[in-house]
């Protein structure tokens, strides 16, 4: 039985991860530009899913769909796909392929069909699977997030308990290449519970890495309350990147509290100042258009963006109500004319990237490195 992987730009690292997991049990995922026999696998987010919906429904082969959207909306996705992988796929996908090859019905924990679903009873241990093999990818060092930010799918897909790959496991793969880049919801949370940092463990990790190290920048980031002189010293002493990417998300404390972000505006501004003092450029995420955002909240966000932009860069997003999040089903509010003007001025001045009017862009363009 031939297992294929539908090539989708936004799912390149998922391909690396799942290809490596499948190889451990003898499966080779062949990249294809369209569905092909016998089985074609997809990984979709909640923005690009609509692009592939008809293709999956009309495919003349067995279709398997996973990813953030499939996890959040498995019942909907199962109306078009033959099988839906809900949650993590490293163990579930190879097991599903083995079931299908043996003539089984594919009804195993973690897999949904239009009329059946049984959830898995455990989470993936990262060290049990390689981060990549023949298909190169970034090394995922941590998974899960203890926070419950209203717009984020991460804890819904991977849980609230952080899991970490071992230092030896990370070094084994990261040191194969000239540059080491990592996937994690918060690089400064490595080795910790995600709330109380363990900078000693991060230093131990960095000491075991060779070549160029990019930490806390694309394709990962950090949280503002984890930025301090000690954490910044680790970047200065061990890492190649001269930028640090973190999320402020709003310049309004009222909005941050409602989002359950777990930090204040003052902490985000202070983090940017500390980066500047350490000779590191802060690249700070902001989201505009939250459904409950008042005019004053939006003006406070503009003020915070302008303050950060004096010594750093802004990466902006328009709010997207992602399925499976507390804000699913909400609608983005309109932007004030002054918001659009400030964003435009900052963009023209080279201080801002992203999109404040086309939210989908953040899923199809690479972040500032």
Per-residue pLDDT of 257-282, as tens digits, reads 999 999 999 999 999 999 999 999 99
Q: Is the pLDDT of residue 367 over 50?
A: no
Tell me: the pLDDT tens digits for 33-66?
A: 999 999 999 999 999 999 999 999 999 999 999 9
Q: Is the pLDDT of residue 361 over 80?
A: no
Backbone angles phi, psi at 337, to 5 degrees: -60, -35
Domains of the chain by residue range: 3-117, 138-364
Q: Are 251 and 265 in contact (CB under 8 A)?
A: yes
- How confident is the prediction for the chain on average, in pLDDT? 95
What's the pLDDT score for residue 156? 86
| In the block, residue with structure tokens 């301090």 | 228
Average pLDDT on 204-222 reads 96
> Of the CATH numbers 3.40.605.10, 1.20.120.530, 3.80.30.20, 3.40.50.620, which one belongs to the domain with range 138-364?
3.80.30.20
**Residue 12 C-beta-side C-alpha neighbours within 13 Å:** 12
Question: 357 pLDDT band (50/70/90 cuts)?
Answer: confident
Which of 144, 146, 142, 177 has the alpha carbon at shortest distance from 158?
Answer: 144
Q: Is the pLDDT of residue 363 over 70?
A: no
Q: Is the pLDDT of residue 366 over 80?
A: no
Average pLDDT on 299-322 reads 97
What's the pLDDT score for residue 359? 62
Question: 30 pLDDT band (50/70/90 cuts)?
Answer: very high
Q: Is the pLDDT of residue 369 over 50?
A: no
Question: 70 pLDDT band (50/70/90 cuts)?
Answer: very high
What's the distance, Cα to Cα, between the start and end of the chain in Å? Answer: 40
Cβ neighbourhood burial of 76 (10 Å; 0-12, 13-18, 19+): middle
Backbone angles phi, psi at 65, to 5 degrees: -125, 130
Fold classified for 3-117: Rossmann fold (3.40.50)
Tell me: the pLDDT tens digits for 93-152?
A: 999 999 999 999 999 999 999 999 999 999 999 999 999 999 999 999 999 999 999 999
Average pLDDT on 350-359 reads 89
Do the domains 3-117 and 138-364 sit in the same CATH topology, yes or no?
no
Q: Which two tokens stand for residue 317?
A: 């997003």
Q: Is the pLDDT of residue 368 over 90?
A: no
**133 contacts: CB under 8 Å, gap ≥ 6:** 16, 19, 20, 23
pTM: 0.93
Poorest-pLDDT segment among 64-73, 262-271, 355-364: 355-364
Compute the distance between CA of residue 17 and CA of residue 158 in angstroms, rounded to an integer: 15
């Amino acid at each position: 039985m031939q297992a294929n992987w539908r090539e989708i730009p936004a799912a390149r690292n998922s391909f690396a991860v799942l290809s490596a997991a499948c190889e451990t049990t003898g499966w080779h995922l062949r990249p294809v530009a369209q569905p092909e026999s016998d089985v074609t696998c997809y990984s979709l987010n909640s923005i690009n899913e609509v692009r592939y919906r008809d293709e999956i429904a009309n495919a003349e082969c067995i279709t398997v769909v996973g990813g953030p959207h499939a996890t959040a909306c498995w019942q909907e996705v199962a109306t078009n796909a033959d099988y839906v992988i809900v949650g993590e796929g490293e163990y579930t996908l190879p097991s599903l392929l083995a079931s299908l090859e043996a003539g089984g019905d594919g009804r195993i924990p973690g897999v949904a069909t239009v009329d059946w679903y049984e959830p898995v009873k455990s989470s993936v241990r990262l060290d049990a699977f390689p981060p990549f093999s023949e298909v190169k990818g970034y090394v995922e060092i941590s998974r899960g997030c203890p926070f419950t930010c209203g717009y984020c799918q991460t804890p819904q897909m991977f849980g609230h308990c952080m899991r970490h790959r071992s230092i030896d496991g990370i070094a084994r793969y990261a040191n194969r290449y000239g540059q080491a880049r990592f996937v994690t919801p918060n690089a400064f949370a490595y080795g910790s519970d995600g709330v109380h940092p363990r900078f000693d463990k991060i230093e131990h990790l960095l000491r075991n890495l060779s070549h160029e190290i990019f930490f806390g920048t694309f394709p990962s980031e950090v949280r503002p309350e984890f930025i301090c002189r000690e954490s910044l010293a680790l970047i200065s002493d061990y890492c190649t990147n001269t930028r640090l990417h973190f999320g402020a998300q709003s310049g309004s404390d009222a909005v941050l509290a409602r989002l359950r972000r777990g930090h204040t505006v003052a902490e985000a501004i202070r983090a940017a100042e500390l980066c500047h003092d350490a000779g590191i450029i802060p690249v700070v995420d902001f989201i505009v258009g939250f459904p409950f955002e008042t005019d004053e909240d939006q003006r406070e966000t503009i003020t915070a963006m302008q303050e950060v932009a004096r010594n750093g860069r802004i990466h902006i997003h328009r709010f997207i109500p992602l399925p499976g999040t507390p804000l699913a089903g909400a609608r983005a509010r309109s932007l004030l004319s002054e918001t659009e003007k400030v964003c435009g001025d900052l963009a023209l001045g080279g201080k801002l990237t992203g999109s404040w009017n086309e939210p989908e862009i953040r899923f199809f363009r690479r972040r500032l490195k």
